[in-house]
Amino acid sequence: MKKSENIVKTIGQVNQEQRESLIKQKACTFWFTGLSASGKTTLAYALEKKLFDDGKLCYVLDGDNIRHGLNSNLGFSAEDRSENIRRIAEVSKLMNDAGIIVLTSFISPFISDRELAKKIIGEENYKEIYVSTSLHDCEQRDPKGLYKKARCGEIIEFTGISSPYEPPSHPYLKINTANTAIQDALQLIITVLK
């Protein structure tokens, strides 16, 4: 698809720092990555509730929810997965510019896609949280039955089974929910934030 040459970027009269000052918080994106059923979404929503209770404006962008709307036209090919992550990074950047703390929960299996997300969002605003729960533990949980379907060949290109997951080498934080309770993991994140 060719980009129009008649598009001009506009800049408003209010910047991110002014918005942050108004709502008394520093915007950033916490990028939760890990296998399906690792605990990413559970942690993201727990952190959202804690931040909200502390008077912070925040929002969770969850992989399943985004694919019902914004990214409903994308499949799960490598190209579509990359485009999914690119779009989420662009939305996160816009929300950060509005002063909002964003909590994303996406498998985002490829290092190159997460690096692109960091570049789009900005390194100073991007905080990668690797939910490092093992494939074995994720497969034992399997709340949606996806691993079982993938093992039976009903789902192709499923991360951890027929498609690789490339773990982060230097995440902002690493949490294994198999040996860390959600409340303990949440407290760890809060401690690191402070």
The rounded percent of the chain whose pLDDT value lies above 70 is 98
Q: Is 191 one of the annotated binding-site residues?
A: no
> Does residue 156 lie within any of the structural domains?
no
Predicted confidence band of residue 6 (pLDDT cuts 50, 70, 90): confident
We report the CATH number of the domain holding residue 104 as: 3.40.50.300
Task: Report the pLDDT averaged over residues 123-143.
Answer: 96
Return the active site residues: 108
> What integer pLDDT is reported at residue 131 of this predicted model?
97
3-state secondary structure the chain: CCCCCCCCCCCCCCCHHHHHHHHCCCCCEEEEECCCCCCHHHHHHHHHHHHHHCCCCEEEEEHHHHHHCCCCCCCCCHHHHHHHHHHHHHHHHHHHHCCCEEEEECCCCCHHHHHHHHHHHCCCCEEEEEECCCHHHHHHHCCCCHHHHHHCCCCCCCECCCECCCCCCCCCEEECCCCCCHHHHHHHHHHHHC
> Does residue 147 lie within any of the structural domains?
no
Task: Report the pLDDT averaged over residues 8-37.
Answer: 93
> Does residue 140 lie within any of the structural domains?
no
Is the model's pLDDT at 119 over the cut of 90? yes
> Does residue 108 lie within any of the structural domains?
yes
Is the model's pLDDT at 145 over the cut of 90? yes
Q: Is 35 one of the annotated binding-site residues?
A: yes
> Does residue 154 lie within any of the structural domains?
no
Q: Is 38 one of the annotated binding-site residues?
A: yes
What is the CA 157 to chain-centroid distance, rounded?
A: 20
Q: Is 69 one of the annotated binding-site residues?
A: no
> Does residue 1 lie within any of the structural domains?
no
Task: Report the pLDDT averaged over residues 106-117.
Answer: 96
Q: Is 49 one of the annotated binding-site residues?
A: no
Predicted confidence band of residue 8 (pLDDT cuts 50, 70, 90): confident
Task: Report the pLDDT averaged over residues 146-157.
Answer: 93
> What integer pLDDT is reported at residue 164 of this predicted model?
94
Q: Are 42 and 133 in contact (CB under 8 A)?
A: no
> Does residue 146 lie within any of the structural domains?
no
Q: Is the alpha carbon torsion for 46, 49, 50, 51 positive or negative?
A: positive
The residue range of the domain holding 171 is: 16-133+164-193
Is the model's pLDDT at 1 over the cut of 80? no
Question: What value does the mean pLDDT of the chain take?
Answer: 93
Q: Is 99 one of the annotated binding-site residues?
A: no
> Does residue 10 lie within any of the structural domains?
no
Number of domains in the chain: 1
Task: Report the pLDDT averaged over residues 111-135.
Answer: 97
d(CA 101, CA 30): 8
